[in-house]
Amino acid sequence: MAILPIRIWGDPVLTKRAEAVDRITAEERKLIKDMIETMESADGAGLAAPQVGVSKRIFVFRRGEKTHAIINPRIVKREGGLKVGQEGCLSIPGVQAAVPRHVRVVVTGRDARGKAVEYECEDGDEQGRAATCVQHEIDHLDGVMYLDRAEVESISWLMEGEDEDGEEIIILDPTDVEAIKAAYKARRLPRGIHVPDVLRERIEGRKS
């Protein structure tokens, strides 16, 4: 297994529609294993194939204690109305925003062996943010970034700070999509932003 480099916002693979998978081969199975390892190493809740540079309709996600992979996913049921919750994205590290999502969805597709699967996903104590995650990842397959759906006034940089006792805390610093885009384009994130080192290297050290 291998940890794959995560593509960062601005990379064209993230904003194009990914292609359906006709045949599931050893290549897809290896990709899924690597995607799971990559997601776990970055402590993410989900990861879509375009985020590792592969424009195929595949994503992996956490649902409670379990990790699943879905090929050619489709949401067949949306329930529970929309609820606004905070989201982040491994391809836009250091940023957080509030996005309305359906509380409960049913997603179908195929697993790594080609077997038809169906998962009921619900945001809540048991499954974490599984429903939100599925909607976020399927958006990736359609070339849609969560900031496109975010409530404008909620978009914030995550800044590292300290409270009165000197304990490290994360402070939300309101910003807007254009400022974030500009920072990523210039490959310079604001000083003091909360980004894992491995991703900071990807952003500030990447070659053009």
The site map against Zn ion for 23-62 (x = CB under 5 A) is ----------------------------------------
Does the footprint of Zn ion cover residue 189 (CB under 5 A)? no
Whether the Cβ atoms of residue 38 and residue 32 lie closer than 8 Å to each other? no
Between residues 24 and 87, which has the closer beta carbon with respect to Zn ion?
Answer: 87
- One of 36, 58, 70, 89 touching Zn ion (CB under 5 A): 89
Q: What are the start-end ranges of the H helices in 52-125?
A: none
Site map 4..23 versus Zn ion, x via CB under 5 A: --------------------
Tokens of 113: 């062996």
Number of residues that bind Zn ion (CB under 5 A): 1
Which token pair is 74? 């489709």
> Residue 125 is encoded by which pair of tokens?
């104590």
State the catalytic residue, choosing from 28, 87, 122, 137: 137
**95 near Zn ion, rule: CB under 5 A:** no
Distance between CA 62 and CA 45 in Å, rounded? 5
CB 47 within 8 A of CB 141: no
> In which residue are the tokens 């997601």 written?
39
Q: Of 9, 13, 61, which Cα lies nearest the Cα of 199?
A: 9
Q: Contact, 162 vs 169, CB < 8 A?
A: yes
- CB-nearer residue toward Zn ion: 60 or 89: 89
Q: 40 is written with which tokens?
A: 């776990």
Q: 9 or 119, CB closer to Zn ion?
A: 9
Q: Is 150 in the site for Zn ion (CB under 5 A)?
A: no
- Segment contacting Zn ion by CB under 5 A, of 16-24, 85-93, 102-110, 195-203: 85-93
Residue 19 catalytic? no
Chain residues binding Zn ion by CB under 5 A are: 89
- Name the residues annotated as catalytic: 137
